[in-house]
Amino acid sequence: MTRPRTLPTAEGPYPPTEEMLNAPVSEAEQKRGGEELRAAWKTPEGWRYVTAVNNSEVGKWYCLTALAFMLIAGVLALLMRVQLAYPDMTFLDADRFNQFFTMHGSAMMFLFAVPMFEAISILILPAFLGARDMPFPRLSAYGYWCFLIGGCFVLGSLLFDAGPKAGWFMYPPLATKEEGVGPDIWLLGLSFIEVASIAAAVELIVGALKCRPPGMRVNIMPLYAWYVLVVGGMILFAFPPLIAGDFLFELERSFDWPFFDPTRGGDPILWQHLFWIFGHPEVYIVFLPSIAIAAMIVPTVAQRPIVGYSWIVLSAVGTGFLSFGLWVHHMFTTGLPQISLGFFSAASEAVVIPTGIQIFAFVATLMVGRVKLTLPMLWIAGALAIFVAGGLTGVMLAIVPFNWQVHDTYFIVAHLHYTLFGGMVFPVIAGVYYFYPFFAKKLLSERLGLWAFWLIFSGFNITFLPMHLTGLMGMPRRVFTYPESSGWGWLNLISTLGAFIVAAGFAVFLFDLLRPKKAQGQIPRNPWGAGTLEFSHDVPEEAWGARSVPYVTSRYPLWDQPKLLARMDAGRYYLPDAPEHQRETIVTSVIDAKPVHVQRVTGPAWITILAAIFTGGAFIFPTFHIYTPAIICAAFAIVCIMYWLWTSTARPPKDDMRDAGLGLRLPTYASGPQSVGWWGMWITMLGDATAFASVVFGFFFYWTARPDFPPEGAAHPAGLWVAVAALAAVAAWALTVAARESNARGQVTLARIALLLAPLAAGAAGVAAWAAVRDLDPTSHVYPAILWALMVWLVVHLGAGVLMQGYCLAGSVFGKMTPRHDAELRNVTLYWHFMAVKALVTTAVLGLAPGWLT
């Protein structure tokens, strides 16, 4: 067989010259393109509306759902404030109060703060980038439905008085020993949402890296995209340790494997490490995207480009890194060595510097510009006032002796609300006012906005400013009552009054947001005079995102490229039509945003909703220790996802090339690093590897923290089986690579044989790994338990790898995958590269570590 032709690459003139851009587009051409696009991007109507996957629809649902969850969590806060208004109140009993504060924290973090970032980004990132949609719209829809189901499930537990009540941090042994399903609901419900978060992060990273408009090099990306990149990366490294912790935690709850039980060699501190390795970066995951909104508003207000663009990029990237060196400042009182505490104290102070740079860059921009105070800017100003106060108390809290005094007191409650209101709530509301004309095509009321601002701003300070003093006067957190003799009564009463003022402010804001605005008429297209691409939107609304994808040469194209809007509208730029009535977007190179290919984007579907429902079942049934329906649901979820991938992704196109406009011809299929799918896989695997590393970290943590690890005379894994597992896993990897190579050379039969043998080798590896630890009793001690956990982790991943190999084999047999169109096989090979490393590390820990450690 001869080697098949490789895929074509882009051809034609690029960058476009002014002459090309000046050439008019004929009326007929404009009309044809517009109609084709309108047909391709039509939003489903009637009851089919829920099948929509377009970022503008999913983003709106996502935002509204997160807002609703926030309001519920806020009501819980009000009820708690009533209980604390006077000493010895009996409005809520201890049990209910504990459920409420647990749910308030969990919901605000997992159901509001992080999802809100994803929601807003899904809604507006494509517009910043002049893109038609996110690269994987069905994935966002799937993530949204998972979020909705999981959030309702977790919050709903309160209605049955079955909510978790061990705090949002779920410290074992309190949480592992708690009776009832509360902790299981927390663990499984939120794990489910964490998975959805990671999916969104993957999509956002790929979106910012690969779906920028032609010409938008990294140095002229909107700052928001930089923040999305950084925050996406942080999610990828921060959430997996928590997922690993959840995995160990649920194994202890369900099967009594003693990871956190000190009587059998476990250690509750491991959970604290895993939780806060997630928990602290999480604070910045919440803060950075909100400050990114400020970075978009401030230049508009100043009517000047941002001062210190590079400084802000430095600050975002630097904060992203440093935020991973802070987690122990939540554990200063656990009795760790003082030098260790010192490292985290120092790193916690260091992170102040990039954060400060960020704020000074905003002030500098306002200084250089001609400031026009608008309502969004008022909210940003409020945010800065509050956030700076929270940041200053943060500087204090990083000082260990001070922290020893105020840790777990109301001082912390005050500090964290100052950072979160200033760093998240206020900027997000500013964003709502600023972007409302963009996504709703209406304006919010200036008068109501002022009312809402002053109510929330003053109410907030009345609530939380006194709490600093309450904490210093000795009031611990998470107490459902306090004695009158404490002298905390008057401070708490003030806080409660303030909380209701905040609530009144939110009521005004919500009314303004949701009231019908039919009478308002058509709004101007760019009401704030902004310079970035989102305000090139169509008024009235069109679902296509951008009429044509522009060629961008400036950070503020609407200010610096005067003819841009007219050319976009006329369809002068790229992808001005959709001849096959397919949804498409343009994929560009990572650094310089050169056009690479045209990506077909998926459209409305039921399958994503079904997949989310079954995934929900797979997570929700185990909460009640019902495993058979859970397994059935998991199987259906896998089938749904397979079906969805099979029918709509990486199908070999009819034509190899497509006229993309301006004389450019772009390929319609991409494989390997050129394709967005490959990037998605690579990024997902980074997150997965982090989770795996966290489990391995657990193994070595026990070794340093516990003298009886491994316990004397303990049985070790069977060496022979460990060796077999390692060899078989490597064989499965080698066969997958061989399949990719022979397929690319056109030796299809050889590739199919390799793809037939590879799952067998992978299966053998799984069986051998199981056989290696079969004789150890995981309930007896943490040593066999962590070995079992590693084995389970490996086997589950081998299982996923086998499914992928089978998918490729089927693709090859049924003509979905050809020697030229091998995107799936390349992605699966990438998975197996990671798989091979994981298998080798697992077998090394299983087989070699006991020898080294004893």
Partner 1 sequence: MRLIPSVTLLRSTALLTGLSLLSACEGRQSVLNPAGRDAQDVLGLIWVMFGGAALLWFLLGAIFAYVTRVEPREMPRRWGEALIIGGGVIFPVILLGALLAYSLPMMAPQRAAEEGLKVHITAEQWWWRVAYELPDGRRIVSANELRLPVGRRTGLVLNAHKVIHAFWVPALGGKVDMIPGRETYLSFQPEEPGVYRGQCAEFCGASHALMAFETVVMTPEDYAAWLEAEAADAQKPASAEAYRGAEVFAREGCGACHTVRGTSAAGQVGPDLTHVGSRKSLGAGILQMTQDDLSRFVAHTEAIKPEVAMPSYDHLTLKDLRALAAYLKGLT
Partner 2 sequence: MSDIRDEQDAHEFRAEALSLWRITFGPLIWALHFVCSYGATALVCAKAGAEAVPVLRMGIGIGTLLALALIFWFGLQAWRQWDLRRDREWENDAGTGEDRHQFLGHAGFLLAAISFIGVVYVALPALFIGTCA
Q: Which of residues 357-396 bind partner 1 (CB under 8 A)?
A: 357-361, 363-373, 377, 381, 384-385, 388-389, 392-393, 395-396
Does 205 bind partner 2 (CB under 8 A)? Our answer is no
Nearer to partner 1, 474 or 763 (CB): 474
Stretch in the footprint of partner 1 (CB under 8 A) among 352-360, 580-588, 615-623, 662-670: 352-360
Measured distance CA(6)–CA(564) in Å, rounded: 36
Q: Least distance (Å) from partner 1 to the CB of residue 248?
A: 16
Which residue is listed with tokens 């500013």? Answer: 430
Does 627 bind partner 1 (CB under 8 A)? Our answer is no
Measured distance CA(287)–CA(116) in Å, rounded: 11
Contacts 24+ apart (CB under 8 A), 714-718: 714/781, 714/783, 714/784, 715/775, 715/776, 715/784, 716/850, 717/772, 717/773, 717/776, 717/787, 717/846, 717/847, 717/850, 718/771, 718/772, 718/773, 718/774, 718/775
- What's phi and psi for 130, nearest 5 deg? 60, 25
Stretch in the footprint of partner 2 (CB under 8 A) among 130-138, 320-328, 617-625, 642-650: 320-328
- What's phi and psi for 638, nearest 5 deg? -65, -45
Nearer to partner 2, 226 or 509 (CB): 226
Measured distance CA(175)–CA(664) in Å, rounded: 60
Does 15 bind partner 1 (CB under 8 A)? Our answer is no
Cα angle, residue 713 at apex, residues 711 and 716 outer, rounded to 5°: 85
Measured distance CA(667)–CA(11) in Å, rounded: 9
Measured distance CA(397)–CA(393) in Å, rounded: 6
Does 304 bind partner 1 (CB under 8 A)? Our answer is yes
From residue 412 to residue 441, the character string flagging contacts with partner 2 as x (rule: CB under 8 A) and all else as - is: ------------------------------
What one-character DSSP code corresponds to residue 409? Answer: B
Q: Least distance (Å) from partner 1 to the CB of residue 302?
A: 9
Tokens representing 414? 């005050």
Amino acid letter for position 494 = I
Q: Least distance (Å) from partner 2 to the CB of residue 23?
A: 13
Does 218 bind partner 2 (CB under 8 A)? Our answer is yes
Interface positions, 352-371, toward partner 2 (CB under 8 A): 353-354
Tokens representing 737? 């690579």
Interface positions, 524-583, toward partner 1 (CB under 8 A): none
Amino acid letter for position 207 = G
Q: Least distance (Å) from partner 2 to the CB of residue 411?
A: 24
Which one of residues 44, 50, 220, 408 is an interface residue with partner 1 (CB under 8 A)? 408
Does 8 bind partner 2 (CB under 8 A)? Our answer is no
Which one of residues 91, 169, 171, 343 is an interface residue with partner 2 (CB under 8 A)? 343
Q: Are 705 and 790 in contact (CB under 8 A)?
A: no
Q: 628 is in the binding site of which of partner 1, partner 2, none (Cβ under 5 to 8 A by kind)?
A: none
Which of 66, 155, 180 lies closest to 102 in space, CA to CA?
Answer: 155
Measured distance CA(305)–CA(296) in Å, rounded: 10
From residue 177 to residue 196, the character string flagging contacts with partner 1 as x (rule: CB under 8 A) and all else as - is: x-------------------
Q: Are 208 and 676 in contact (CB under 8 A)?
A: no
Contacts 24+ apart (CB under 8 A), 176-182: 176/249, 176/252, 176/253, 176/260, 176/261, 181/157, 181/623, 181/624, 182/99, 182/102, 182/157
Which one of residues 152, 350, 634, 810 is an interface residue with partner 2 (CB under 8 A)? 350
Q: What H or E segment, with its residue span, contains residue 660?
A: strand 657-661
Which one of residues 222, 240, 427, 595 is an interface residue with partner 2 (CB under 8 A)? 595
| 91-101 burial: b if 16+ Cβ within 10 Å, else e | bbeeebbbbbb
Does 562 bind partner 2 (CB under 8 A)? Our answer is no
Burial class (CB in 10 A: 0-12, 13-18, 19+), 542: middle
Beta bridge partners of 537: none
Nearer to partner 1, 473 or 613 (CB): 473
Nearer to partner 2, 169 or 311 (CB): 311
Q: Least distance (Å) from partner 2 to the CB of residue 325?
A: 5
**What sign has the CA pseudo-torsion 257, 262, 266, 268?**
positive
Q: Are 606 and 145 in contact (CB under 8 A)?
A: no
| Number of shown-chain residues binding partner 1 (CB under 8 A) | 89
Which of 686, 669, 642, 662 lies closest to 807 in space, CA to CA?
Answer: 642
Does 220 bind partner 2 (CB under 8 A)? Our answer is yes
Does 342 bind partner 2 (CB under 8 A)? Our answer is yes
Q: 769 is in the binding site of which of partner 2, partner 1, none (Cβ under 5 to 8 A by kind)?
A: none
Interface positions, 16-75, toward partner 2 (CB under 8 A): 17, 20
Cβ neighbours, 10 Å, residue 697: 16
Q: 267 is in the binding site of which of partner 2, partner 1, none (Cβ under 5 to 8 A by kind)?
A: partner 1
Measured distance CA(800)–CA(621) in Å, rounded: 21
Does 174 bind partner 2 (CB under 8 A)? Our answer is no
Does 337 bind partner 2 (CB under 8 A)? Our answer is yes
From residue 286 to residue 315, the character string flagging contacts with partner 2 as x (rule: CB under 8 A) and all else as - is: -------------------x---xxx-xx-
Q: Least distance (Å) from partner 2 to the CB of residue 585?
A: 18
Stretch in the footprint of partner 2 (CB under 8 A) among 143-151, 211-219, 682-690, 820-828: 211-219
From residue 464 to residue 503, the character string flagging contacts with partner 1 as x (rule: CB under 8 A) and all else as - is: --------xxx-xxxxxxxxxxxx----------------
Which one of residues 91, 324, 402, 500 is an interface residue with partner 2 (CB under 8 A)? 324
Interface positions, 89-128, toward partner 1 (CB under 8 A): 89-90, 93-95, 98
Amino acid letter for position 420 = L
Tokens representing 411? 């001082």
Does 334 bind partner 1 (CB under 8 A)? Our answer is yes
From residue 264 to residue 283, the character string flagging contacts with partner 1 as x (rule: CB under 8 A) and all else as - is: --xxxx--------------
Interface positions, 749-778, toward partner 2 (CB under 8 A): none
Which one of residues 23, 75, 346, 853 is an interface residue with partner 1 (CB under 8 A)? 346
Which one of residues 6, 9, 334, 647 is an interface residue with partner 2 (CB under 8 A)? 9
From residue 130 to residue 169, the character string flagging contacts with partner 1 as x (rule: CB under 8 A) and all else as - is: ------------------------------------xx--
Q: 256 is in the binding site of which of partner 1, partner 2, none (Cβ under 5 to 8 A by kind)?
A: none
Q: How far is CA 676 from CA 649, 654, 667, 827, in A?
A: 11, 20, 14, 10
Q: Least distance (Å) from partner 2 to the CB of residue 304?
A: 11
| Number of shown-chain residues binding partner 2 (CB under 8 A) | 54
Which residue is listed with tokens 């450019």? Answer: 664
**Residues that bind partner 2 in the complex, under the rule CB under 8 A:** 9-15, 17, 20, 215-220, 305, 309-311, 313-314, 317-318, 320-322, 324-325, 337-343, 345-347, 349-350, 353-354, 552-555, 590-592, 594-595, 664, 704-705
